[in-house]
């Protein structure tokens, strides 16, 4: 269940809010005049969230490419990656 706190708690109970966010890796929702105003979370939780959004974006790009027919067989893709990484240098 989400934690909902009044804005005064940011000033009066900052350490408690910070501890909760770090321990639970979820945001606390802050209200102002009884209405939702902010979502506060730890930097680590924020970084995980943005990394997840980036991954979803890249997966969507891949699906769009696949639907448009922009793909190649696995072996061909691996050969191309090897060429790009090693510049055609063989063992």
Does a structural domain hold residue 90? no
Q: How confident is the model over 30-79, as pLDDT tens digits? A: 999 999 999 999 999 999 999 999 999 999 999 999 999 999 999 999 99
Burial of residue 28 (CB within 10 Å: 0-12, 13-18, 19+) is buried
Contact 48, 25 (CB under 8 A): yes
Which is more confident, 29 or 2?
29
Q: How confident is the model over 5-21, as pLDDT tens digits? A: 999 999 999 999 999 99
Burial of residue 73 (CB within 10 Å: 0-12, 13-18, 19+) is exposed
pLDDT of residue 90: 59
pLDDT of residue 91: 57
Q: Which domain holds residue 71?
A: 45-85
Question: What is the percent of the chain with per-residue pLDDT over 90, rounded to a whole number?
Answer: 92
Q: How confident is the model over 23-43, as pLDDT tens digits? A: 999 999 999 999 999 999 999
Residues 66 and 37 in one domain: no
| DSSP-derived 3-state class of residue 5 | strand
Residues 52 and 36 in one domain: no
| DSSP-derived 3-state class of residue 28 | strand
For the chain, the domain total comes to 2
Residues 8 and 27 in one domain: yes
Residue 20 sits in a domain whose CATH number is: 3.40.1620.10
Q: Whole-structure pTM over 0.75, yes or no?
A: no
Residue 32 is inside which H or E element, if any? strand 28-32
Contact 7, 29 (CB under 8 A): no
């Amino acid at each position: 269940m989400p934690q909902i706190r009044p804005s005064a708690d940011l000033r009066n109970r900052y350490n408690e809010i910070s501890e909760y966010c770090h321990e639970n890796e979820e945001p606390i929702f802050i209200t102002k005049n009884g209405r939702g105003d902010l979502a506060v979370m730890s930097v680590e939780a924020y970084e995980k969230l943005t990394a997840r959004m980036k991954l979803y974006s890249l997966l969507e790009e891949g699906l769009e490419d696949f639907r448009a027919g922009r793909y190649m067989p696995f072996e061909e893709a691996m050969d191309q990656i090897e060429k790009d990484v090693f510049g055609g240098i063989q063992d």
